[in-house]
Amino acid sequence: MLWSSQLQTHIPKLSSIFSFSFRLRFRLRFRYKYSTMATASALAAAAAGTSPCKVVLAATVAKSLLEEVQTDLKALQRKPKLVGFLANNDPASRTYAQWTGKSCKQYGFDFELREVDKDELEEAVIAANEEDAVDGGIIYFPVFGTKQDQYLQQILDMSKDVEGLSHKYMFNMYQNIRFLDPEKTQKSILPCTPLAIVKILEYIGVYNKIIPYGNRLFGRTIAVVNRSEVVGRPLAALLANDGASVYSVDINDIQHFTRGEGVRMHRHHAVDTDFKVADVIPKCDVVITGVPSKAYKFPVELLKDGAICINFSSEDNFGPDVMNKASIYVPAIGKVTIAILFRNLVRLCQNREAKAA
Amino acid sequence: MLWSSQLQTHIPKLSSIFSFSFRLRFRLRFRYKYSTMATASALAAAAAGTSPCKVVLAATVAKSLLEEVQTDLKALQRKPKLVGFLANNDPASRTYAQWTGKSCKQYGFDFELREVDKDELEEAVIAANEEDAVDGGIIYFPVFGTKQDQYLQQILDMSKDVEGLSHKYMFNMYQNIRFLDPEKTQKSILPCTPLAIVKILEYIGVYNKIIPYGNRLFGRTIAVVNRSEVVGRPLAALLANDGASVYSVDINDIQHFTRGEGVRMHRHHAVDTDFKVADVIPKCDVVITGVPSKAYKFPVELLKDGAICINFSSEDNFGPDVMNKASIYVPAIGKVTIAILFRNLVRLCQNREAKAA
C-alpha cells in the first residue's frame, strides 16, 4: 500500500496539472530531446555487463523505419514537401523547427519554414491547405497558449496533418477504424508518439506476427503510466484495439482498456477500477511510462522479473534499478517519433494518390 | 480449491503410476499418432470462425525445420544412415519402425531395420556402434519392459544417439551445457520431444529474438503439466535454462524452475512449492500439457485470456473450450518431433565431421 500511495503522489495528472500549451510544449520538447539521461545511464549499466537486460535504442528502431520510408519515397517518384508554421517566440520551437528542416533534408523531403504573426497563422494555414505543392504541415505550439491552439490545430486540413491530430484521425484511432474510405485505399493517420511506441513494440517482439493482424497483442498485459490526451490515453486505446489488456495508470485512478474476453469486441472499452499500482504492475509484461517529472520514479520493485520497460518521458522515469529487473529496456523514443513523422508524410502522399486514382 | 482438487485427481504422476516400459510405449505412440482428435476439433472450431484463437499445426512448424535439415544435408554431401533395432513383437513398434523408414526415404536418409532377438539386442547395438557406415541408431522400446530397457538405451553410443537420451546428453541439458567440447565445435544433442516443443515456441514467437541467445524466454511464465522423466521434467528444465519462470505441475505438487531473479544463475534450479493449480495457471503466458489420459481435462477456465496452449499428449488434454480463451493453440506436436529426429541425425553427422577435423 505504501507503494501505491507513494507512486500516486508522484504521478502528475497531465490533463489537470498542466495547461494545454504546456502539454504541447512538453510534447515538442521530448521529441527533439531524444538523447536522454536515461539512455546514458542504461548504456553504462549494460556496458558494465552485470545486467541481463537488453537495452534497445530508439536509433536502432528508427533505422528500419527510415529504410521503409525510403522505399516508399522512391515509389512516389517525387519529393514531398512539409511546411512548418512558426508563430511564437519560443526558442525551443525554433530549435525544433530548424531540426525538422535538417532532418527533412537528410531524408529526402522538402521543408519550408513559414514565420508568421500569431494573428496571421489561421490564414496562413488555410492558404497552405489550398496549395497543391504542400503535402504536409506542422504548427509549432504553443501559439496562444490557450484552447485557441486546439482550434488552430484543427484548421490544418486532415489531408496535410502529418502529426495525426485531426479530430477525424483521433476518432478513427479510438474507434479502431484503419482506413478513410470503404475501399480501404487510404490509410487513417495515427498520432506520432503513440504510433512510435507501437512500432517499438513490434520491433522488440511484443506484437506476435503469428496472430492475425489486428489481434497481435492478444494475451499481453501492458501498463501505460500517464493518461494525457496527447499520448497516454490514445496509446492505451491503440494497444487495447490491437488486443492487449491495458492498465492506464494516472494519479487519480487506474482504468482497464480491453476488447473484452477473447478480444470479441471490435474496439476497446475502458472501465474504471479500484486497483492500486501494486495490484496491476506485477501482472504486466510491458510497462510504458511518460511522466514529465524529475521527481517521479516508477517503483521498479513491483515489476515482474523480466518485464519489458519503455520510457517516453524526457525524464528518466525508471532509474538505474530497472536494469536489474527488465528483460528489455527502451530508455527513450524520440528518434522513432521523428521517423514516424516522415512515415506519416509519405502516407499522406500515398492517400493523395489513392484519392486521385 | 475445487479446481485444483479436481485437477489433481486427474493428473497421473507418470513416474509412479506407469512402468518405464509403459512410458516408453507412450512416448513412441504419441510420436507417430500425430494427427489427433484435438487437431480435428480445433480446426473445426477455427473454421466456424467465431474464435479469436489461431490454431498452429505441427505440420506447419515441421515444414520449416525440414527445410533447414535439407540445407544441412546438402552441405554434408552424403546420405546419413539410421539403423532401427526391433526386438519385440509389439505391433505399435513395428508400425513406428516402418513409418520411420518411410520418412527417412522421403527426406533423403538411409534406413535399415535390424530385427533381432531380445537377447541379441545388446550385441547388435554394440556392433552398430563400431560400424563406420552407421550414423544413428534408434531402439524400439519396450524390449524387456523393465529397467533393463534403460540399460540398453545407454548401450547405444552417444555419437549415434539420435533421440538424445544418453546420460551425457541429459546431463548437459539439465546443466545447460550446449557443446560437447571446449572449442564449441560439437553440439550436445537434445531429446526429441522437449526440443520439438522448444522449436514450436520459437516458431510461434514465444522466444524473443531481440534478447540474447540463451535468455530468450526471460520474462515468460510457462506451465508444464506432467513431470515425467521422458518429457515433462527435461522440458521444464530446458525452458527454465532459456530464462523462463516454469511451473512444473504434477499430481502431487507444483515445482518452480527458474534461473533466479534476473536469470543470474547459469542453469535452472527447481524448488518445491505449496502452490495449487489455481494459483499458478492465471499467471502463465504459455501452458503445455502432456497427460496421457482420456479422462483428464485441463481447467481452461483458469487460463489467462489470450494464453498460448500446446498439447503434446496424444489425448485431447484441453477440450474445445480452449478455443475461447487461447490466442494460439497447438493441438499436437508429433510431426515436429519427427523433424527433430532428422535434425538430430544431421547434428550427429556434423559432430562426427567436427571431431574428425
Q: How confident is the model at residue A287 (pLDDT cuts 50, 70, 90)?
A: very high
For residue B49, pLDDT beyond 90: no
pLDDT for residue A36: 61
Contact state of A208 with B205 under an 8 Å Cβ cutoff: yes
Closest Cα of chain B to A254: distance in Å?
Answer: 20
* Residues on chain A touching B212 (C-beta within 8 angstroms): 54
A31: Cβ–Cβ under 8 A, 6 or more apart, which residues? Answer: A96, A192, A193, A334, A337, A338
**Amino acid making up residue B329:** Y
Please give the residue of chain A at the shortest CA–CA distance from B211.
Answer: A54
Compute the count of residue pairs across chains A and B with CB atoms less than 8 Å apart: 91
B26 half-sphere exposure, CB direction, 13 A CA radius: 21
Average pLDDT over residues A142-171: 93
Mean predicted confidence (pLDDT) in A336-348:
96
- H-state helical runs in chain A: 2-10, 14-17, 20-32, 37-48, 58-76, 91-107, 121-130, 148-155, 167-175, 192-203, 232-241, 277-280, 334-356
Q: Which residues of chain B form CATH 3.40.50.10860?
A: 77-161
Do the Cβ atoms of B219 and A305 come within 8 Å?
yes
Q: Which CATH superfamily is domain B30-61+193-336 in?
A: NAD(P)-binding Rossmann-like Domain (3.40.50.720)
Active site includes A192? Answer: yes
Least CA distance to B266: which residue of chain A? A52
CATH dotted code for A36-61+193-336: 3.40.50.720
Find the length of chain A: 357
Q: Indicate left, alpha or beta for A216 from its phi (over 0: left) and psi (-120 to 50: alpha).
A: alpha
* B217, B210 contact by CB (below 8 A): no
- Subunit contact B263:A203, Cβ cutoff 8 A: no
Whether A104 shows a pLDDT value over 80: the answer reads yes
User: What is the CATH code for B77-161?
Assistant: 3.40.50.10860
Q: Answer yes or no: are the C-beta atoms of B172 and B188 closer than 8 Å.
A: yes
ipTM value > 0.85: no
d(CA B352, CA B129): 13
Quick check: B78 pLDDT over 90? yes
Looking at residue A207, the DSSP 8-state letter turns out to be S
Query: In chain A, which residues have their Cβ closer than 8 Å to the Cβ of B305?
Result: 219, 245, 261-262
B20 contacts: CB under 8 Å, gap ≥ 6: B142, B145, B146, B147, B149, B150
Tell me the pLDDT tens digit for each residue of B58-68: 999 999 999 99
Q: Which residue of B has its CA nearest to A285?
A: B219
Give the pLDDT score at B35.
47
Contact residues on chain A for B220, CB-CB shorter than 8 A: 306
pLDDT at A7 over 60: no
List, for residues A14-56, the tens digit of each pLDDT value: 333 333 444 444 444 444 444 466 787 777 777 777 788 999 9
Question: Nearest CA to CA, how far is A148 from chain B (Å)?
Answer: 44
Q: Which residues of B touch A205 (CB under 8 A)?
A: 205, 208-210
pLDDT at A39: 81
Phi, psi of B252 (to 5 degrees): -85, -30
Label the pairing between strands A54-55 and A328-330. Answer: parallel
B328-353 mean pLDDT: 96
Confidence label for B123 from pLDDT (cuts 50, 70 and 90) = very high
Interface test with B, best of A55, A199, A265, A305 (most B CBs within 10 A): A305
Q: Which three cell numbers stand for residue A185?
A: 485505399
**Closest by Cβ to A219, choosing from B211, B219, B327:** B327
Report residue B278's pLDDT band, with 50, 70 and 90 as the boundaries.
Answer: very high
**Complete DSSP assignment for A64-105:** HHHHHHHHHHHHHTS--EEEEEE-S--HHHHHHHHHHHHHHH
Banded pLDDT at A272 (limits 50, 70, 90): very high
Q: Per the CB < 8 Å rule, is B304 touching A211?
A: no
Whether the predicted pLDDT of B7 surpasses 60? no
Residue type, B81: K
Q: Residue B193: is its pLDDT beyond 60?
A: yes
Question: CB–CB of A219 and B263 under 8 A?
Answer: no
Q: Name every chain B residue with its beta carbon within 8 A of the beta carbon of A264.
A: 52
Q: How many other C-beta atoms lie within 10 A of the C-beta of residue B54?
A: 20
Strands B245-249 and B254-258, bridge-based pairing: antiparallel
- Cβ atoms A254, A248 nearer than 8 A: yes
Q: How far is B217 from chain A (nearest CA, A)?
A: 9
Residues of B in contact with A204 (CB under 8 A): 208, 210
Contact (Cβ atoms closer than 8 angstroms) between residue A230 and residue A23: yes
Q: Which chain A residue lies closest to B323 (C-alpha atoms)?
A: A262
Q: How confident is the model at residue A198 (pLDDT cuts 50, 70, 90)?
A: very high
| Residue from A85, A70, A105, A95 nearest A162 by CA | A85
pTM of the model: 0.82
